[in-house]
Amino acid sequence: MDRRKFLKISGIGAAGMLFSDRLTGALLKEAQASTQIKPITGSWIEFQHHLPAESEYWDEALRKFTSEQWRRKIFEMKEIGMEYLVLMSVALFEKALYPSALAPQMELGSPDPLEDVLSAADECGIKFFISNDYWGDLKNAENMMTDKDIKKIREDSMIEIALKYGHHKSFYGWYFPNEAYLQPYFSESSIQYINECDAFARTLTPHCVNLIAPYYIINARDDEKFVKQLERLNIDIIAYQDGVGVNHTKLGEAGKFFSILRKAHDKAGRAKLWADMELFYFESGTHGNLLPADFSKRILRQMEDISPYVDRILCYQYIGVMNKPNTDIIAGCDASTRLYADYRKWLSRCRR
């Protein structure tokens, strides 16, 4: 099953933000230079979670975030080294997550959270991949990829989003969230969906960089059939889900599958190979709320396992699972601040 279906004010001023940004950049470079383990340089982000049973610890807080709080949350993620953010969805439960003529807008603490996060990203230098979907029934990804009516509203929303937000320098590209999975190959319908989305995106934002995040890497192949599929896919980046959080893969196994994918990508010579590394575990074993995994016992081992094979490690996800301590913008359980502190400590130790 797709992971998407399981699934005190800091008072920092502009000078402080600039200092923090430079410090974090230095930390990331030194981390990569002093260890073979790649740091986390991106994350998924959401205004509300698509499966409320997984997000009881953070949805209410996110629902109340003001424009200024969203701005500071973006700077918070930049401070810990996030260079890329991937917006999970622009619609949920038949409502738009931004001011839209296509559907009623979900009631949130900010009148336009998409404008908030892109404006903040402009300031601090984060690159955003903007979702183009979740306009249909999340339980039927195949239908969302193939239904003509959903395709129409998806493309209309892309036009609307490009007109409203295309001027932002942080608008780096698009994310197509109806995830393909390896069975062990991509389905023809998913290839068609990806290529159609990519082609339409380029009519609106010609220089966009586009991303997908397939799952079930346990079926990874590097044979001729899969390589030819990669050659046919018009996509810039494929960030495969490592599957550790949803128990698709056991801890320590993902590297083996990413090594196979690395060979396939090298043969195809097209899309970059990134990782979509899961930071969470399920509160009730295989379902329920997503909780932060232990950094040293699990997440560091995930990073070590996949680092040799991927160009970048993105995570699913900072929002709800990591939080800077002692702020008024914590969205998540207490363990989320501990994960932040443990990861930050690891980055600092890499300087020694």
Average per-residue pLDDT for the chain: 91
* Residues of the chain under the 50 pLDDT cut: 1, 6-19, 34
Structure tokens that stand for 216 in this block: 């079930």
All domains in the chain, ordered by first residue = 3-349 (3.20.20.80)
pLDDT in tens, 232-258: 999 999 999 999 999 999 999 999 999
Residue percentage of the chain with pLDDT more than 70: 89
CB distance 82 to 27 below 8 Å: no
pLDDT of the residue at 139: 81
CB distance 300 to 308 below 8 Å: no
pLDDT in tens, 11-37: 334 334 443 555 555 555 555 554 689
pLDDT of the residue at 15: 38
- pTM of structure: 0.90
Can you spell out the DSSP letters for 163-177? HHHTT-TTEEEEE--
